[in-house]
Amino acid sequence: MTAAEGPDLVTLADAHDEEAAAEQLHRWGWTDGLPVVVPTTERVERFLAAATRAPNASLGPLAPRGAELTLRGLAANAVMAGCLPAYMPVLEAAVVALQQPDFNLYGAQTTTHPCALMVVVQGPVAGALAVAGGAGCMGSGFRANGTIGRAVRLVAMNVGGARPGGDQVADDMDRATHGSPAKWSFCFAENQADSPWPAFGAQLEWPDGWDPADSLVTVAAVEGPHNINDHRSSTAENLLRTIAATMATPGANTVYRGGDQFLALGPEHARLLADAGLSRADVQQYLFEHARVDATRVGAEKLQEASLWGGYRLLLEEWGHRVAIARAPEDIRVLVAGGAGKHSVWMPTFGATWSQTVRLPRSAGDGFTVAPLNETARWANDLEAK
């Protein structure tokens, strides 16, 4: 039985025996395999009171199943994940991001690729909710990080229908060949305090401008973090060569299928680059030009398969038979996260997806605002569709 087919979560949770109710949730497959907090009516009501919308609001359908997500359903899943009520506006923003057409939630939910739903919290709300962006921010030990990421995943499973289904094939299943630990939870904050550059949101093309007081939530369908270790480079050129070589991976979907990807620079790496006079855009341009896969590193059959997907077959000669890992520099998203240590991490996508950044309401009565994609990303998306 699925969450869309069974009784309401809150009705079930009104049982007098919480332990029995929790076990029933497990039997019906409404959990991520870990223990959950039973979403009693009282608990759910506290979360609804902290939301930006009315308790009976509909948040729209979630792919691939297309079941309607209500604010009450979001609250119930947030309770199960162990969230605090104050996290609700961030979760609402994450849902808005998931529903944008260019995010391609259907593809992200059903692909065999092990992409997870990564949530990056930015601006004052990150500090207010204690979302960690420093040392260890992508790992365990932080309540906000762990439970916000988990709640988004539970919603994707219980309402969207993306549950791992073994060897079965169905439209409402997560078909990932191996899956990923990041599918349990993947949430962190931008480390703006230790960043040498303007905030991530400042580079986006907001229709009404960007304000440092804005709070943002970015959601992307990406792999778990791939470590980039460089303790010895003392110049920006040497460090960027290490990063580019790490990202130039023949097996990465982004080489063939476009989409955007994320590079989270550790503060020490970011400072080295900035001290050399490089901006975020300079880093993006360098990686676009140098993080390329020589066609000779890819088998002929794979290259033929890839050319059917990626749209680069008309550009291969122009690129000197070196396949770019992105269709445009802007699709290599760069931000700063983490703590001390000369490490950075790269998160490629499954290809046919573009991250979405949503601004939380600036004042009561305002709605959520979605940052538009850059034109190069839209060109790439149009090309992918052809």
Q: How many helices (H) and strands (E) does the chain have?
A: 14, 15
Q: How confident is the model at residue 297 (pLDDT cuts 50, 70, 90)?
A: confident
What per-residue confidence (pLDDT) applies to 4? 44
Please compute the mean of the pLDDT values over residues 96-118 and round it to a whole number. Answer: 95
First to last CA, the chain: 38
Which sign does the torsion angle of CA 141, 145, 146, 147 carry?
positive
Tokens (6 digits) for 57:
């609001």
What per-residue confidence (pLDDT) applies to 344? 98
Please compute the mean of the pLDDT values over residues 316-343 and round it to a whole number. Answer: 88
Taking CA atoms, 248 is separated from 179, 225, 233, 272, 273, in Å, by 22, 15, 19, 22, 20
Q: What is the mean pLDDT of the chain?
A: 89
- Cβ(90)–Cβ(359) below 8 Å: no
| Three-class SS of 254-278 | HHHHCCCEEEEECHHHHHHHHHCCC
How confident is the model over 237-269, as pLDDT tens digits?
999 999 999 999 988 888 777 789 999 999 999
Does the pLDDT of residue 382 top 50, yes or no?
no
Mention every residue, 6+ apart, whose C-beta is less than 8 A from residue 108. Answer: 115, 117, 221, 350, 353
Does the pLDDT of residue 377 top 60, yes or no?
no
Does the pLDDT of residue 386 top 50, yes or no?
no
Q: How far apart are the C-alpha atoms of 382 and 325, rounded to whole Å?
A: 17
- Cβ(78)–Cβ(88) below 8 Å: yes
Helix (H) or strand (E) holding 228: strand 226-229
Please compute the mean of the pLDDT values over residues 156-180 and round it to a whole number. Answer: 81
Q: Which residue has the tokens 């995010």?
A: 103
Q: How far apart are the C-alpha atoms of 156 and 161, rounded to whole Å?
A: 6
Please compute the mean of the pLDDT values over residues 310-332 and round it to a whole number. Answer: 75
Q: 221 in helix, strand or coil?
A: strand
The amino acid at residue 306 is A
In this structure, of 87-91, 196-200, 306-310, 376-380, the range with the lowest mean pLDDT score is 376-380
Closest CA to 247 of 265, 232, 235, 233: 265
DSSP string, 133-151: -STTTTSSS-HHHHHHHHH
Residues 37/42/45/50 CA torsion (nearest 10 deg): -70
